[in-house]
């Protein structure tokens, strides 16, 4: 498993998420996006449907997962309904890397630089990853926006 933390600075995290989801689809992969509430999941779904870059997707309790390449969830995952290899955690959610989120190849955490609480949570999570012995984690990296580009600013090998 690779874990990447993306700190959005200049663009809304929805814009960042859309760009990253496009990259997942370009590689022929599938993704689950987990939000911390039904309201956020619904708002994100609406934004993805109406954005400049069309991203077809399904949302928990409204659609059938079996046809989706992108699935938006808002409850804790008990199973990977679309056989996705990438999990996005939106708005500074912390993954359950020892249990339900362990099966993903890539876990990507998105948070906004202006969200002080989210930044604190991500710093604490980053520190805990460096201190724990988790053999299923291959690489941890931290990405920031600089001059409109994503730059890897820190990494930790596991």
Domain limits, the chain: 8-118
Give every residue of the chain whose pLDDT is below 50, as ranges: none
Question: In angstroms, rounded to a whole number, what is the distance separating the alpha carbons of residues 147 and 158?
Answer: 30
- H or E segment and range at residue 7: strand 2-8
Reference 156, options 142, 143, 144; nearest CA is 142
How many angstroms separate the first and last alpha carbons of the chain? Answer: 10
- Per-residue model confidence (pLDDT) at position 107: 92
> Could you say which of 3.40.50.10110, 3.30.2130.30, 2.102.10.10, 3.40.640.10 is the CATH number of the domain covering 8-118?
3.40.50.10110
Residue-wise pLDDT tens digits, 149-158: 889 998 875 5
Question: In angstroms, rounded to a whole number, what is the distance separating the alpha carbons of residues 105 and 20?
Answer: 15
Reference 31, options 64, 65, 7, 61; nearest CA is 65
- Per-residue model confidence (pLDDT) at position 157: 58
């Amino acid at each position: 498993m690779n874990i990447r933390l993306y700190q959005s600075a200049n663009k809304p995290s929805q814009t960042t998420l859309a760009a990253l989801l496009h990259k997942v689809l370009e590689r022929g992969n599938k993704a689950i996006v987990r939000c911390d509430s039904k309201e956020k999941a619904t708002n994100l779904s609406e934004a993805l449907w109406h954005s400049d870059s069309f991203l077809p997707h399904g949302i928990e309790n409204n659609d059938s997962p079996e046809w989706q390449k992108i699935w938006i969830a808002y409850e804790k995952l008990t199973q990977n309904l679309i056989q996705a290899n990438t999990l996005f955690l939106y708005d500074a959610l912390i993954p359950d890397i020892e249990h339900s989120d362990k099966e993903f190849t890539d876990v990507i955490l998105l948070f906004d630089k202006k969200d002080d609480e989210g930044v604190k949570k991500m710093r604490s999570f980053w520190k805990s990853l460096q201190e724990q012995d988790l053999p299923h984690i291959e690489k941890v990296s931290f990405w920031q926006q600089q001059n409109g580009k994503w730059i890897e600013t820190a990494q930790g090998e596991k």
